């Protein structure tokens, strides 16, 4: 039987990442609302620039919640036996509980959207269209990703092994592993399915 706990602190990337990513956006649905001269501007996907930031980089001027270390608590019960010096069998069952998983997570589009006052780089349409989209509940995100600590997960599984010595120079072995679908445990900030 074994029990252990392990921790991983947030990395420099988890805390201080600050990069821009191109996210192609299909704006062709706007074509019927535009004057004919402006319709070619939405014929091809628009290369929207979105930002991915670490937890120490403010989003829309607001600081983020600091990351804490993630941890795993692991339990295992295993048995190994050898029969007649030629055959060895093993079986193990484990449960791993992971807490505060540091996860690169998409943010809601309306958390830090582009606006008419701050339109995306290369925006091909009048900035007022961004205001109309926002009034309809459609937002183009300026900051789209960050790192968050998400709630606990439980992993569990079984492992079986079989080894057989055929001769001094030849052996055969087989093993089987099964892992259950991770279980999302209750938490105020749960891991997302």
Please tell me the predicted confidence (pLDDT) of residue 38: 87
pLDDT digits (tens, 9 = 90+) for 63-72: 999 999 999 9
What per-residue string of b and e applies to 113-125 under the rule 16 or more CB within 10 Å gives b? bbeeeebbeebeb
Q: Determine the pLDDT at residue 192.
A: 76
pLDDT bucket at 191, cuts 50 / 70 / 90: confident
pTM, two decimals, is 0.80
Model confidence pLDDT, tens digit, residues 93-118: 999 999 999 999 999 999 999 999 99
| Cα(116)–Cα(125) distance, integer angstroms | 10
């Amino acid at each position: 039987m074994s029990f252990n706990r392990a921790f991983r602190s947030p990395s420099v990337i988890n805390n201080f990442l600050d990069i821009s990513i191109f996210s192609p956006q299909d704006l062709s649905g706007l074509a019927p609302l535009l004057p004919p001269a402006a319709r070619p501007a939405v014929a091809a996907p628009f290369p929207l620039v979105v930002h991915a930031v670490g937890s120490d980089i403010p989003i829309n001027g607001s600081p983020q919640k600091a990351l804490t270390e993630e941890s795993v608590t692991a339990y295992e019960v295993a048995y190994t036996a050898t029969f007649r010096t030629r055959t060895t069998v093993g079986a193990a069952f484990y449960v791993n509980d992971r807490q505060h998983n540091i996860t690169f997570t998409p943010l809601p589009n309306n958390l830090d959207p582009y606006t008419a006052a701050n339109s995306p780089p290369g925006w091909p349409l009048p900035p007022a269209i961004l205001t109309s989209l926002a009034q309809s509940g459609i937002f183009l995100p300026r900051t789209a990703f960050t790192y968050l600590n998400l709630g606990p997960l439980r992993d569990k599984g079984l492992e079986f092994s079989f080894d057989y010595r055929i001769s001094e120079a030849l052996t055969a072995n087989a093993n089987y592993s099964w892992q259950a679908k991770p279980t999302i445990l209750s938490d105020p900030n749960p891991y997302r399915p």
